[in-house]
Amino acid sequence: MHEHKCIKIKSNFSSMRKKIRIIDIAKMAGVSKGTVDRVMHNRGNVSEAARKSIEKVLEQVNYKHNIHVSSISLKSRYKIVVATPEVSPGAYWASIHNGIQHALEEYENVRVELQVFTYNQYDIYSCRETYEQIAGVEMDAIIIGPTFKEETVNLCKRMDEREIPYIFVDSNIEDTSPLAFFSADHYVCGYMIAKLITSIIPDHTNIAIFQAVRTGDRSANTTILRKKGFTDYLEKNKCTNLILSIPFSVMEPEDNEMYLTRLFHSQKDIPAIVVLNSRGNFIANYLETNLIEGVKMICMDLTTANIEALKKGQIDYLIGQEPEYQGFYAMKTMLEYLIFKKPVQKQNYVQLDILTRENIDFYKSFNNIMY
């Protein structure tokens, strides 16, 4: 006799206990649904007695907020600012903005007036100027994609004074008090990259690391952390590889040709290249046009150009950090905080996806997941 089981589950049916509604809570607490609503949304104008009574009921029963009904009956309005580096199609920040837009669609009846500010992430002066402008804008909340630490700290101070809630995407900034942040753990990211690259190249070889040059001699927050994670891995695991740090200029791209030529015309053997920003495809293309072969490459972010380079075999590993997810949940969290005063989880680290030419075709860019 062979084992086999049949389980009958009448879901949402008899087995599931009756779903409780606002009106049920109201009856139990001996008040009207309006009062329950006021308590649940922290709207005030409720007597101490009524509040206590409702909170007591709320502790006992397991009320599950119905997002479907909310979504159609919401009527509130908010002004929300989004401040990020400039967006170009198919690139990293475009994905974050996509995610933000999708969150707005989920609560389509909430009237959100979005004001988007962008700055040049390679130019500290552009960032300062944009932040200055933002500081004077009237708003209910702001989502910030930070690059320069000190500038962001200043902006946040002014937001704190005005009691305007802010959420970070892409990177958390210390010495600020955001409502939440949605970001990769960049230190671990660098650490993982080091592990991946050293696992596929011989000992005692050179690794060239490219990182973006910025005005004001200030590195992006993310790059600093990734670099730290990278070197810490090598140190911790007693790796014998040598690191060559190469600057990479986005604002003066003609310089890069020079850096690269200098690198590859030196006597050094370079079996591995690591790119800590999302511009890996530029270097991949340089290698291709200059017929340099046999170099292993690990790069960041699933930009259209990087994906193409991965598929062509120019790049070996791409690391993704779910930018759509970051944008989506930053905005969704902000909306639910504003509308429902929903408690917020502050730390939100996103996935680090490892993509190769084999699994890239199956990768879903979150947009696909939601719709």
Q: How far is the CB of 99 from DNA (least distance, A)?
A: 23
- Interaction of residue 58 with DNA, rule CB under 7 A: no
- Rank residues 108 and 132 by Cβ distance to DNA and give the closer one: 108
Q: Of a copy of itself, DNA, none, which one does residue 337 interact with (CB within 5 to 8 Å by kind)?
A: none
Residue 238 lies near a copy of itself (rule: CB under 8 A): no
Quote the CA–CA distance of 314 and 283 in Å, as a whole number: 9
Q: Which stretch binds a copy of itself (CB under 8 A): 127-135, 146-154, 217-225, 282-290?
A: 127-135
* Parallel, antiparallel or unpaired: strands 317-320 and 353-355: antiparallel
The torsion angles phi and psi of 115, rounded to 5 degrees, stand at -125, 115
> Please, what's the b/e burial string for 312-340 (b: 16 or more CB within 10 A of its CB; e: otherwise)?
eebbbbbbbbbbbbbbbbbbbbbbbbbee
By the rule CB under 7 A, 65 interacts with DNA:
yes
Q: Is 42 exposed, middle or buried (0-12, 13-18, 19+ CB in 10 A)?
A: exposed
Count of chain residues binding a copy of itself (CB under 8 A): 66
**In the bound complex, what is the minimum distance in angstroms from residue 318's beta carbon to a copy of itself?**
11
Annotate each residue in 271-310 with x if it binds a copy of itself (CB under 8 A) or - if it does not, as one string.
----------------------------------------
Burial 82-102, CB ≥16 within 10 A → b, else e: bbbbebeeebbbbbbbbbbeb
Token pair recorded at residue 253: 């791209």
Cβ-contact 321, 353 below 8 angstroms: yes
Query: From the CB of 137, what's the least distance to a copy of itself, in Å?
Result: 9
- By CB under 7 A, is residue 69 in contact with DNA? yes
Q: Which does 76 bind (CB under 5 to 8 A by kind): DNA, a copy of itself, none?
A: DNA
152 binds, among DNA, a copy of itself, none (CB under 5 to 8 A by kind): none
Shortest Cβ distance from residue 75 to DNA (Å)? Answer: 4
DSSP symbols for 30-48: TS-HHHHHHHHTT-----H
Please state, in angstroms and rounded to a whole number, the distance separating the CA atoms of residues 209 and 273: 6
Q: Does 332 bind DNA (CB under 7 A)?
A: no
Binding track, positions 94-133, relative to DNA; x by CB under 7 A: ---------------x------------------------
Interface residue with a copy of itself, options 123, 170, 301, 336 (CB under 8 A): 123
Among the listed residues 199, 278, 195, the one whose alpha carbon sits nearest the alpha carbon of residue 230 = 195
Footprint of DNA (CB under 7 A): 19, 21-23, 30-35, 37-38, 40-41, 44-50, 63, 65-66, 69-70, 72-76, 109, 339-340
